[in-house]
């Protein structure tokens, strides 16, 4: 979904949407509990959220699909 923001009109025409549901991808920031740079971790997390398009922040725009 994020890749669509940088695609040309020609390539966007090749994208097909799911018909029954919209799957979402979950992203987690994983780090050791012994990682002492909490300020750095929080800054990085905020920067990631800041750089995502606002419409991708909405958790109700689709369904998270469990990975098996």
What span, in angstroms and rounded, lies between the C-alpha atoms of 54 and 37? 27
Reduce the DSSP state of residue 53 to 3 states and report it. coil
- Please tell me which residue, 23 or 13, carries the higher pLDDT value: 13
What span, in angstroms and rounded, lies between the C-alpha atoms of 58 and 52? 11
Domain locations in the chain as residue ranges:
2-64
pLDDT for res 21:
76
Q: Which helix (H) or strand (E) holds 12?
A: helix 9-12
Q: What is the pLDDT of residues 19-48, one digit of tens each?
A: 777 777 777 778 777 777 888 888 888 998
**pTM score of the predicted model:** 0.51
Report how far apart, in Å, the C-alpha atoms of 22 and of each of 5, 18, 60, 61, 65 are. Answer: 17, 6, 10, 7, 9
């Amino acid at each position: 979904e994020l890749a669509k923001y940088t695609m040309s009109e020609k390539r966007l025409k090749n994208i097909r949407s799911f018909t029954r549901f919209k799957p979402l991808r979950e992203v987690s920031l994983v780090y050791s509990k012994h990682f002492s740079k909490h300020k750095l971790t929080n800054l990085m997390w905020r920067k990631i959220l800041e750089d995502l398009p606002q419409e991708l922040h909405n958790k109700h725009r689709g369904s998270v699909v469990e990975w098996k």
